[in-house]
Amino acid sequence: MIRSVNRLVGLCKADQTFPDFWNFHCIIHREQLVSKSLNLDNVMKPVMEIVNYIRTHALNHRQFRNLIAELDQGLPGDLPLHCTVRWLSKSKVLSRFFELLDAVKLFMEEKDKDYPELSDLEWIMDLAFLVDMLCHLDRLNLTLQGKLKMLPDLVQSVFAFVNKLKLFEAHIQKGDLTHFHTMLKASEQVTSAALKKKRDRYATLVANLHKSFVTRFCDLQLKRPQITFLVDPFNAETDCLKAPLVTDEAAAELEMIDLCEEDQLKAVLREGTIEFWKTVPMKKYPNIKRAALKILSMFESTYVCESVFSTLKHVKSKHRSVLTDTHLKELLRVATTEYKPDLKRIVQDKECQKSH
């Protein structure tokens, strides 16, 4: 849809009569693409082999669960399977694998499967580092998801994480593992010399991840002054609004100055961004209100669309195959709407039909 030549955006851009507009890739998808750059193959390959060996064989899976129950150390009951389609599954698999590392090692020894990595302290440190970093990335991903999210909300979350990466890099270089709980636990068994060598490597990986984020989101960084104007118009620069958000930049500057002196509207902003822009009069501030409405109408991610597909999967299952398209449309509207009907008032208008 957003390819630059033969899809919707490309065709609109090529049409000289079509108005100029902003276009950008789904923010959640971009975050996932950046996250893949952190994939440590020396860690992921043996972990996936072991998990698949345990989970894809019913006997192995049952014996492994029995082993965990026999150890009785308050351990999680099972290893989850990794699914590439489910973005958050990699972190859950690695985190659970680290928790069950001793049980996995014992089980593989009983099966005469040789995996020297399970006893290699440096490999365990790599595993712990990857667990912590993926946990941080998963928190970011969950922050980006959800309904009624506006573009400024997602942009703020992304660049807040970019700043966190700078902090992580500085802390790792100093040997401060405050934000890396799993790595802190694993480092207790590693010598100081080996730990320092690993710290330098991990700091480089975090720096590369930071660079990938900056490169991937450079377009939003350039547009950020215009995007943040939506949520904080009173502290925005008077000349922050540019085309194509506004057609008359000079008039928009004057309106921004007038808006900054609206003390009554400042109080309304505390009630929420949407309520604020509902209150701003169109006649007095036509340029900046149109710009705000354009930003509000932008789809910052495909989360809503994909959640509808997930809802559709549950609504139209193999047990409900006789549903017509009309019924399906109505059920989807009921399942996805934010509207909450006043059922008491609706019922009051109906006459109860009593049986004789």
Query: pLDDT tens digits, residue range 245-262?
Result: 999 999 999 999 999 999
CA gap 169, 204 in Å, rounded = 8
CA gap 309, 23 in Å, rounded = 23
What count of other Cβ atoms lies within 10 Å of the Cβ of residue 212? 17
pLDDT at position 223 is: 93
CB 100 within 8 A of CB 76: yes
pLDDT at position 193 is: 82
pLDDT for residue 86 is more than 70? no
3-state secondary structure of 175: coil
Report pLDDT digits (tens) over 90-129.
888 999 999 999 999 999 999 999 999 999 999 999 999 9
pLDDT at position 66 is: 92
- The confidence band for 1, taking pLDDT boundaries of 50, 70 and 90, is low
- The confidence band for 34, taking pLDDT boundaries of 50, 70 and 90, is very high
CB 141 within 8 A of CB 87: yes
Crossing angle for the helix pair 218-228 and 151-174, to the nearest 10 degrees: 120
What count of other Cβ atoms lies within 10 Å of the Cβ of residue 140? 19
Task: Give me the percent of the chain exceeding a pLDDT of 70.
Answer: 96
pTM given for the model: 0.86
CB 328 within 8 A of CB 321: no
pLDDT at position 356 is: 57
Spatial CA neighbour of 263 closest among 289, 287, 242, 234 = 234
* DSSP assignments along 312-348, one per residue: HHHHS-GGGTT--HHHHHHHHHHHH------HHHHHH
pLDDT at position 228 is: 92
CB 238 within 8 A of CB 253: yes
pLDDT at position 3 is: 54
Mean pLDDT within 15-19:
87
- Give the Å distances, CA to CA, from 165 to 62, 135, 209: 41, 13, 8
pLDDT for residue 324 is more than 90? no
Q: Which run of H or E residues covers position 258?
A: helix 249-260
Kindly report whether the peptide bond that precedes residue 244 is cis, defined as omega within 30 degrees of 0.
Answer: yes
CB 219 within 8 A of CB 235: no
Mean pLDDT within 180-188:
92
